[in-house]
Amino acid sequence: MIWDRQELKSVIREKIGEHKFVVVSNREPYIHIYSAGGIKCITPASGMTTALDPVMTASGGTWVAAGMGEADREVVDAKDRVQVPPDAPAYTLRRVWLSREEANAFYYSYSNEGLWPLCHIVHVRPVFREKDWQVYTAVNRRFADVVLEEVGDDTAFVFIQDYHFALLSAMIKEKRPDIIVAQFWHIPWPNPEAFRVCPNAAEILDGLLGNDILGFHIRYDCLNFLDSVDRFLEVRIDRERLSAFKGGLETLVRPFPISVDFDRIEKIADSAAVSERVRAIRGDFRFKGRFLAVGIDRMDYTKGIVERFAAVDRFLEKYPEYVGKFVFLQLGPLSRIHIQRYKQYNDEIYHAMVDINERWGRSGWEPIVLQKVQLGLEEVVSYFRAADLCVVSSIHDGMNLVAKEFVAARTDDSGVLILSQFTGSSRELEQALLVNPLAADRFADAIKQGLEMTEAEKGERMRKMRETVRENNVYRWAGKIVNEMKKLL
Ligand code: G6P
């Protein structure tokens, strides 16, 4: 059976019925900002919100998130609620306000200077400060209060997102043990050796065991989590059932590989607007008559952007016949820019590009084009369709939805995906050309192999990958989680 929006809607209606459905995340799905014509609503660059929005549209519940847009306060009602999506309201967004100091300590520092590098093992040392931990705890408490207010006296399912809320489920359960709480951790979980450097390791694990269900992308992360629990807490673990028992509560730890809205991307890919854009991209003097490879990522050190530039450099060195004939286009928005390591990384990307272009460029041609921009889905899909190759070279990534979006966009059964073996997606997309992003030489060979692949082979690989993503789409991901929650009623 292929899951779609309608199917998910009916499962949610039938299974969740009269219970409230509340989703919690730090990042909000819609951000209001001031623009020349008044207030404009934009969507953030986040795999997490991209995946959850269709789920919420299907469920029609309440999404609790931090209000971050400069005009966010202008559009909410007296209870800080606003109906979204703006053009076809389907669910409620409840905004929580954090002061600048809170956002700095909770979001930038503890979550993104601490937990993010802790969980992605990419040799960036995590930073933990006691004062940030205090604020992280207080912000989790604030969100717990808001969730409880939204639930009121009703019965409810609460579905928490990500590493910003490691303590939230236990705080909810403390007051309302009857609420069914699930959490999805959208990033990897490290092995206990790596995890043990966190000064709040035990509290974090304890907090996460407030969940009835705790989801990760892949089984590997589930096992790492249970090993960490085993190392730090005195609780019973059942490795057969993949669960941990704390007090009277069993937390089921399960893999749920997240995905994309395949049908929606496919429709956009087949639209006239996209064909028009593809023509414009292919006609651009920088790309015209050349092989085009693209990478689309937030500018984040986990994404391996510098490493992919190094592979392009090595590719031109090893295969000089491609000099002047190949362009790598890197697109994507700046991210978490107040953090020192991200500032540095942006400089590294820029300098790597300048050095490589300096080395190889000649009049009218540069091998790397870098545009730090945030693109809408239609633009992303257009670049995917215009490209011969898509490169995803994360050094570590929970899933990586760019790879799945690329596959969904290739309704022409063509195009080649070069994919890091360190992404969750590589477990499903076996027909991609899998690479270790740190092995520049082999990575360079994969670029060559991709460019020289016959149409027949491209078609065969792409058709298989498309079947996989079509079937394992985001509705299936959500449907499976909802089914698990329902079993606990
Ligand atoms: C990852 C995280 C999300 C986050 C996104 C963008 O996908 O799992 O929770 O929203 O990155 O990062 P940002 O810090 O901008 O929300």
- SS3 annotation, 195-262: HCCCCCHHHHHHHHCCCCEEEECCHHHHHHHHHHHHHHCCCEEECCCCEEEECCEEEEEEECCCCCCH
- Same domain as 200, residue 274: no
Is the model more confident about 388 or about 248? 388
How far, in Å, from the CA of 336 to the mean position of ligand 1?
9
At 486 the pLDDT is: 87
Tokens coding 358: 């300096």
CB-based contacts of 208, cutoff 8 Å, min separation 6: 166, 169, 170, 183, 185, 214, 225, 251
At 12 the pLDDT is: 83
Question: What are the C-alpha distances in Å from 138 to residues 67, 102, 142, 256?
Answer: 17, 9, 6, 29
**Mean pLDDT across the stretch 324-346?**
98
Whole-structure pTM value? 0.97
- Same domain as 352, residue 386: yes
Range of the domain at 292: 262-471
CATH of the domain at 375: 3.40.50.2000
- Same domain as 479, residue 420: no
Mean pLDDT of the chain: 96
Q: Looking at the DSSP assignment, which residues form a beta bridge with residue 64?
A: 24, 94
Q: Which of 16-20, 198-202, 227-231 has the lowest mean pLDDT?
A: 16-20
Query: Helix, strand, or coil here: 94?
Result: strand
- Same domain as 361, residue 241: no
**Mean pLDDT across the stretch 247-276?**
96
- Same domain as 204, residue 72: yes
How far, in Å, from the CA of 337 to the mean position of ligand 1?
13
How far, in Å, from the CA of 220 to the mean position of ligand 1?
21
At 280 the pLDDT is: 98
Is 300 a pocket residue for ligand 1 (Cβ < 6 Å)?
no
At 430 the pLDDT is: 98
- Our count of domains for the chain comes to 2
Closest ligand 1 atom number to CA of residue 163: 9
At 480 the pLDDT is: 94
Is 111 a pocket residue for ligand 1 (Cβ < 6 Å)?
no
**Mean pLDDT across the stretch 184-192?**
98
- Same domain as 282, residue 222: no
Question: Pocket of ligand 1, candidates 25, 48, 161: which has the most ligand atoms within 8 Å of its Cβ, to mutate?
Answer: 48
Nearest to 296 by CA among 328, 269, 330: 330
**Mean pLDDT across the stretch 188-197?**
98
- Same domain as 270, residue 252: no
- Same domain as 462, residue 399: yes
- Same domain as 182, residue 313: no
Is residue 62 over pLDDT 80?
yes
Q: Which of 102-116, 444-458, 475-489 has the lowest mean pLDDT?
A: 475-489
Question: What are the C-alpha distances in Å from 195 to residues 20, 252, 378, 425?
Answer: 35, 20, 39, 23
Query: Helix, strand, or coil here: 486?
Result: helix
What is the rounded distance in angstroms from the CA atom of residue 457 to the CA atom of residue 455?
Answer: 6
- Same domain as 453, residue 480: no
pLDDT band at 52 (very low <50, low <70, confident <90, very high): confident
Q: What is the pLDDT of residues 111-158, one digit of tens each?
A: 999 999 999 999 999 999 999 999 999 999 999 999 999 999 999 999
pLDDT band at 96 (very low <50, low <70, confident <90, very high): very high
Tokens coding 80: 């800080």
Question: What is the DSSP annotation of 276-297?
Answer: HHHHHHHHSTTTTTSEEEEEE-
Query: Helix, strand, or coil here: 180?
Result: strand
Is the model more confident about 37 or about 118? 118
| Atom 4 of ligand 1, residue of closest alpha carbon | 46
- Same domain as 361, residue 217: no
pLDDT band at 253 (very low <50, low <70, confident <90, very high): very high
Continuous segment of H or E residues that includes residue 459: helix 455-471
Nearest to 314 by CA among 412, 393, 398, 229: 393
Query: Helix, strand, or coil here: 161?
Result: strand
Question: Pocket of ligand 1, candidates 186, 339, 474: which has the most ligand atoms within 8 Å of its Cβ, to mutate?
Answer: 186
- Same domain as 296, residue 245: no
Is residue 175 over pLDDT 80?
yes
At 362 the pLDDT is: 96
**Mean pLDDT across the stretch 258-280?**
97
Is 303 a pocket residue for ligand 1 (Cβ < 6 Å)?
no
At 386 the pLDDT is: 98
